[in-house]
């Protein structure tokens, strides 16, 4: 199940898939294979859709959401990504607004709040560090 940027988006996609007829009021199509979002053109005989880059409801840039939906943050990923941005545990903890001990526990693989992994993903994305679905890291292509 892919996580979308907001509840409106998730709802619209669910409804669009449920009622694919021309009478449907729900117009966002999500292509899971290509990870792309598109607005269905109403009453178009060819059933075409216009690709969109931002969520019409919450204005999230959809590429970021896509990365977040598929990315997997693990303690190993965190350590590798932290090395890639040349930060100490203390610096990274400060950057994501968590305590040093929380980050230390996370990197040790101890149970932490799911929010920690999400903050890490977001932070590394901002540093242009991409994380894929197997937890490997790379750089976004410019």
Q: Phi, psi at residue 39, to the nearest 5°?
A: -90, 125
Output 62 or 71, the one with its CB closest to Zn ion: 62
138: Cα within 13 Å, side-chain hemisphere: 9
Q: Which of 16, 46, 11 lies closest to 31, judged by CA?
A: 16
Closest residue (Cβ) to Zn ion?
55
The CA distance from 32 to 30, in Å, is 6
Output 54 or 104, the one with its CB closest to Zn ion: 54
Output 37 or 123, the one with its CB closest to Zn ion: 37
CB of residue 2 vs Zn ion: minimum separation in angstroms? 13
- Sites of contact with Zn ion (CB under 5 A): 5-6, 9, 55, 57-58, 60
Q: The tokens of 8 are what?
A: 């409106």
The CA distance from 50 to 39, in Å, is 5
Q: The tokens of 26 are what?
A: 């729900």
CB of residue 71 vs Zn ion: minimum separation in angstroms? 18
CB of residue 56 vs Zn ion: minimum separation in angstroms? 8
CB of residue 140 vs Zn ion: minimum separation in angstroms? 21
Output 57 or 104, the one with its CB closest to Zn ion: 57
């Amino acid at each position: 199940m892919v996580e979308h940027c907001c509840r409106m988006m998730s709802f619209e996609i669910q409804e669009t898939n449920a009622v694919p007829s021309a009478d449907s009021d729900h117009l966002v199509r999500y292509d899971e294979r290509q990870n792309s979002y598109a607005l269905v053109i109403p009453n178009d005989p060819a059933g075409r859709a216009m690709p969109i880059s931002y969520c019409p409801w919450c204005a999230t840039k959809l590429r970021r959401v896509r990365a977040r939906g598929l990315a997997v943050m693990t303690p190993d990923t965190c350590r590798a990504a932290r090395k890639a941005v040349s930060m100490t545990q203390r610096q990274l903890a400060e950057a994501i607004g968590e305590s040093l001990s929380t980050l230390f526990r996370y990197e040790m693989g101890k149970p932490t709040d799911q929010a920690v992994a999400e903050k890490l993903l977001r932070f590394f994305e901002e540093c242009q560090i991409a994380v894929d679905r197997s937890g490997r890291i790379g750089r976004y292509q410019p």
